[in-house]
Amino acid sequence: MHRELTHHKLHQTLKLRAHGARLPPGPKTAKTGLAKPWLYFRELSAQYGDVVSVPGLSSNPTIVLGSARAAWDLLERRGAVYSSRPRFVVGGELLSGGMRGLMAPYGDFLAPLAQAAPLGLHAAPERRLESAVLVRDLLKDPGCFREHLERYAASVIVLVTYGRRVTDVASDEVVRRNVEAMGRLTSVNIPGKYAAERYPALKYIPAMFAPWKAEVLKQRQKDIQLYMDLLNDIKDKVARGVATPCFTTHLLEEQGALGILPTPLARRSVQTAGTLASFFLACVKFGHNFIPRAQEELDRIVGRDRLPAFEDMEELEYVRAIASETFRWRPVAVLGGTPHASTADDVYNGMFIPKGSTIIAPLWTIHLNEKDFPEPHEFKPERFLEQRDFPGTLGHTAFGWGRRICPGAHLGAASVNLNIARILWAFNVTPAKDETGQDIDVDIFAFTDGFNSSPLPFPCSILPRSQYHAEVVRRTHEEAVNELKVFDSSR
Ligand code: HEM
């Protein structure tokens, strides 16, 4: 093993010489085991520049990108080279049997998934109806706003993927088992946990001699059981003629059987719910700067008699800017999603990036880069109304880049836009008050650890703008509940 490593190093050095270029600058040793590695990556970018090489995080070089321009140039423009995934020996190969799209290298297997995904993911009626439920939940029980956001996001994904609703996150079987599956995945995808990540041959040891492997395989059986149960449920509904069209029925029609396992929904609904939670946090801290202008726009374009609709979004320029600023200000995918891997040697601005490098483009650095976004921690929707020199069409990069760009971007962005419009149309969102009537301040840096980061619980006051607005919310909810009956899970 040692000889192999030495040989590998020699090979790298020769390659470096052949290219006349050096690895990007970076620290001699890296800090590992950090709860919030994105804070460290931002420090490294400030110290070493937009492209940093960080040793010792895996057996391959790790390259950390720190600007939208560098991420665009490599992950988007040179996407043919930068769209694979690092090897996930335990999480991808053993736990998922190579069937999880998220960790799959770019290639034949992923292409049909990437093409099929957007087809099943638009589902505008479901989102419109669930959003009416969300707004009524916020009216009825504003103290539990976080639970309502989570229910909304989970229900939209379960509707789109499996054609049934989630009415209560805490008691829903599919949500509970998906959250468990997600836990199994995150508990094995911890860098440095398994020697097999550095020495992949260890994965072939028979499970009877390797308790760690036996444990992982047992977890895998549970995942398979979950997806088989969901699939059988849908097949049964198709046979009885009561299935509503969804991503799974679409795949069944296309392929006759499922060749891929839909990735756990937990991660995806965390994105939407977390982004909306950050929006509430922004309202509490900075709402006085932007809510009046948004409500003026909503009153002018939508009026008082109905909730905003998808069709209004085109005209709601300022509300859209608020949504974009939310995606930028506190990106849930703090590390830029799952790392990419390069599949060929490359030179960028005179720096050598060897084949097989792990590429991380942390959004916490890219979205808080002062050159692109002056005063980055201030919430300023106006940024998105000005002409700015920024790669791409969105003005932010919350959905990733190139061939690995989030296939749910359309769904996620439309959900966030519509809900922000409806919430600001219906409510005044302000700081909560303490016993003495003083505003309770919130900490805009109090966020969770983990692969996706969202705000820790915080208090917030959500009150209807008027009784008339409250009435419209109740009426729209009643209509929505009637229309949603076709998705009733008990059928
Ligand atoms: C607010 C909403 C969302 C945000 C901000 C978001 C963000 C991201 C990001 C940053 C990535 C990594 C891209 C990369 O590797 O370059 C990603 C990947 C992914 N997202 Fe999303 N996402 C959102 C919603 C969704 C939804 C609603 C779905 C599905 C219904 C979804 C499905 C996926 C999948 C399957 C991948 C992996 C793609 C691949 O490996 O090629 N996302 N997302």
Largest CA distance in the chain: 76
Å from CA of 406 to ligand 1 middle: 4
Of all atoms in ligand 1, which is nearest to the CA of residue 415? Answer: 1
Please state, in angstroms and as integers, the Cα–Cα distance from residue 202 to each residue in 2, 89, 90, 254, following that order: 15, 10, 10, 37
Question: Which of the four pLDDT bands, split at 50, 70 and 90, describes residue 32?
Answer: confident
Query: Is pLDDT above 90 for 348?
Result: yes
On the CB side of 428, CA atoms within 13 Å amount to 10
Site to probe by mutation for ligand 1, drawn from 65, 127, 271 as the one with most ligand atoms within 8 Å of Cβ, is: 271
Query: Is pLDDT above 70 for 193?
Result: no
Helices (H) and strands (E) in the chain, counts: 14, 8
Between these two residues, 485 and 285, which has the higher pLDDT value? 285
Site to probe by mutation for ligand 1, drawn from 268, 364, 394 as the one with most ligand atoms within 8 Å of Cβ, is: 268
Locate the domains of the chain by residue range.
2-487
Segment among 87-91, 275-279, 407-411 with least mean pLDDT: 87-91
Between these two residues, 402 and 365, which has the higher pLDDT value? 365
Segment among 83-92, 183-192, 289-298, 467-476 with least mean pLDDT: 183-192
On the CB side of 271, CA atoms within 13 Å amount to 26
Between these two residues, 276 and 451, which has the higher pLDDT value? 276
Our answer on whether the CB atom of 401 is closer than 6 Å to any ligand 1 atom is yes
In sequence order, the 6+-apart residues with CB closer than 8 A to the CB of 200 are 87, 89
Query: Is pLDDT above 50 for 313?
Result: yes
Our answer on whether the CB atom of 416 is closer than 6 Å to any ligand 1 atom is yes
For residue 214, the model assigns a pLDDT of 87
Our answer on whether the CB atom of 323 is closer than 6 Å to any ligand 1 atom is no
For residue 115, the model assigns a pLDDT of 45
Query: Is pLDDT above 50 for 4?
Result: no
Å from CA of 25 to ligand 1 middle: 30
Which residues partner with 375 through β-bridges? none
Between these two residues, 201 and 65, which has the higher pLDDT value? 65
Å from CA of 77 to ligand 1 middle: 19
Tell me the mean pLDDT in the region 40-46: 95
Tell me the mean pLDDT in the region 44-49: 97
Query: Is pLDDT above 80 for 252?
Result: no
Between these two residues, 404 and 101, which has the higher pLDDT value? 404
For residue 161, the model assigns a pLDDT of 77
For residue 318, the model assigns a pLDDT of 98
Q: Whose CA is nearest to atom 13 of ligand 1?
A: 400
Å from CA of 370 to ligand 1 middle: 25
CATH code for the structural domain at 2-487: 1.10.630.10
Tell me the mean pLDDT in the region 346-355: 95
Å from CA of 403 to ligand 1 middle: 12
Average pLDDT score, the chain? 85
Our answer on whether the CB atom of 263 is closer than 6 Å to any ligand 1 atom is yes
Q: What percent of the chain has pLDDT over 70?
A: 85
In sequence order, the 6+-apart residues with CB closer than 8 A to the CB of 300 are none
Question: Which of the four pLDDT bands, split at 50, 70 and 90, describes residue 154?
Answer: confident
Å from CA of 476 to ligand 1 middle: 30
Our answer on whether the CB atom of 400 is closer than 6 Å to any ligand 1 atom is yes
Tell me the mean pLDDT in the region 208-219: 84
Assigned token pair, 448: 């969770």
Query: Is pLDDT above 80 for 100?
Result: no
Q: Is 368 left (phi over 0), alpha (psi -120 to 50) or beta?
A: alpha
Å from CA of 333 to ligand 1 middle: 9
- DSSP 8-state secondary structure symbol assigned to residue 262: P
Å from CA of 153 to ligand 1 middle: 14
Our answer on whether the CB atom of 149 is closer than 6 Å to any ligand 1 atom is no
Tell me the mean pLDDT in the region 53-72: 89
Please state, in angstroms and as integers, the Cα–Cα distance from residue 168 to each residue in 9, 108, 152, 366, following that order: 54, 38, 9, 36
Å from CA of 304 to ligand 1 middle: 35
For residue 399, the model assigns a pLDDT of 94
